[in-house]
């Protein structure tokens, strides 16, 4: 009898049954044969041979018409039932099959076998068709989900590239402004700073469009940038970097950490006459995978009328694009004065766990 299809969805429809389907059909034939044997008090082997023959014909007919409409597949079962039943009687009663079928006993046996074949065959075929339909629907949903994921990844990549393109001019213009300030003030450190700045830009250039940026790479750029800024204002800037080594490999939006440090220099330290300190750090809760990356300064802080600029909005958007909507960028006032920018996001617990020796 036609049975439940276990064929992979991307290979449907099939023209031949699988071994599993044939095994299930054999099991159904055995159970039905035992039932008929007990009901009519007949020998098991003759009944099983007839039921098994009819079931095998149904099975191959059902899958041979797999590319046809469901109604045609069911019709093949309807047409095959009396023909297959007749064949079994002819073979079993040869050469007296005609005389046997003329008897009430023989005709009754033929009718019963045909009815049983119709009922079991159509029920099994209907079940198999339903299972095939669900398999196709599941395959279609999986294919749609895969296409959606692929499209979303493509859109995310395009979005990150667009946001990165916005960051690069912002960074370069700020760097040029720093060069101009050194030249205009006539500082004796102008030439060394310019030389270091050129070396820094050469090192930073390959990372400006780095799609695989990590917190460790960002920290290297930040350290080089702060070294340059300290040369520009050696008496007004101090800084500390505190990031655990196991966090260096975490994904982090390229140039995002540098943008926060630039903001701290430009809007926090530069406007003050006494200068200040910048602290850059990161920590991870190993139990939950929650990561906190911060840039804190002791500058002038944020005035009540100040509004976040394009740089902070860009960092916030790129952080969400990298780590999802649960990630965020928070700004906090620091007493007695200053500002603390914190990036919050979540990673897998194993990503921020110390590596074993």
- What would the pLDDT profile of 301-330 be if each residue is shown by its tens digit? 876 555 666 778 888 888 888 888 899 999
Is there a contact between 73 and 126 (Cβ–Cβ < 8 Å)?
no
The DSSP letter of residue 249 is T
pLDDT band (50, 70, 90) for residue 168? low
Q: What are phi and psi of 341, to 5 degrees?
A: -105, 125
The widest CA-to-CA distance across the chain, in whole angstroms, is: 124
Architecture of domain 187-352: 2-Layer Sandwich (3.30)
Nearest to 187 by CA among 237, 234, 238: 234
Give the domain ranges of the chain: 9-145, 187-352
User: What are the Cα distances from residue 174, in Å, to 177, 225, 275?
Assistant: 5, 12, 19
Q: What is the pLDDT of residue 119?
A: 84
Please give the share of the chain, as a percent, with pLDDT higher than 90.
14
Element (H, E) at 59: helix 44-64
Task: Calculate the CA 282 to chain-centre distance.
Answer: 27
Task: Strands of 178-288 (E only): list them.
Answer: 237-243, 276-284
Among 87-91, 179-183, 274-278, 313-317, top mean pLDDT goes to 274-278
pLDDT, one tens digit per residue, over 59-113 is: 888 887 777 788 888 888 888 888 888 888 888 778 877 777 777 777 777 888 8
Calpha distance 126→44 (Å, rounded): 28
User: Which residues touch 90 (CB under 8 Å, ≥6 apart)?
Assistant: 97
Q: What is the pLDDT of residue 86?
A: 84
pLDDT band (50, 70, 90) for residue 292? very high
């Amino acid at each position: 009898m036609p049975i439940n299809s276990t064929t992979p969805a991307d290979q449907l429809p099939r023209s031949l049954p699988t071994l599993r389907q044939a095994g299930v059909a054999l099991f159904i034939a055995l159970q039905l044969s035992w039932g008929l044997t007990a009901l009519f008090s007949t020998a098991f082997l003759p009944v099983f041979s007839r039921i098994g023959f009819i079931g095998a014909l149904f099975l191959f007919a059902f899958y041979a018409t797999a590319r046809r409409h469901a109604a045609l597949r069911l019709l093949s079962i309807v047409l095959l039932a009396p023909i297959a039943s007749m064949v079994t009687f002819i073979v079993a009663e040869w050469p007296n099959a005609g005389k046997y079928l003329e008897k009430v006993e023989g005709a009754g046996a033929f009718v019963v076998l045909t009815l049983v074949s119709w009922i079991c065959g159509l029920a099994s075929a209907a079940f198999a068709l339903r299972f095939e339909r669900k398999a196709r629907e599941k395959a279609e949903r999986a294919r749609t989900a895969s296409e959606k994921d692929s499209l979303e990844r493509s859109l995310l990549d395009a979005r990150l590239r667009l946001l990165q393109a916005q960051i690069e001019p912002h960074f370069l213009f700020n760097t040029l402004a720093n060069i101009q300030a050194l030249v205009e003030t006539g500082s004796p450190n102008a030439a060394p700073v310019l030389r270091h700045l050129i070396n820094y830009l050469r090192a930073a250039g390959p990372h400006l469009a780095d799609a695989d940026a990590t917190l460790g790479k960002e920290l290297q750029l930040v350290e080089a940038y702060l070294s340059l800024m300290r040369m520009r204002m050696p008496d007004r800037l101090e800084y500390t970097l505190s990031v655990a080594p196991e966090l260096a490999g975490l994904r982090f939006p390229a140039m995002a950490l540098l943008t926060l440090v630039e903001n701290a220099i430009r809007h926090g330290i530069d406007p003050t006459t006494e200068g200040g300190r910048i602290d850059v750090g990161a920590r991870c809760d190993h139990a939950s995978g929650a990561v906190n990356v911060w840039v804190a300064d002791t500058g002038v802080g944020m005035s009540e009328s100040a509004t976040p600029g394009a740089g902070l909005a860009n960092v916030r958007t790129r952080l969400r694009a990298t780590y999802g909507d649960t990630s965020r960028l928070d700004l906090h006032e620091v007493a007695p004065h200053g500002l603390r920018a914190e990036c919050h996001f979540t990673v897998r617990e194993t990503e921020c766990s110390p590596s074993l020796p």
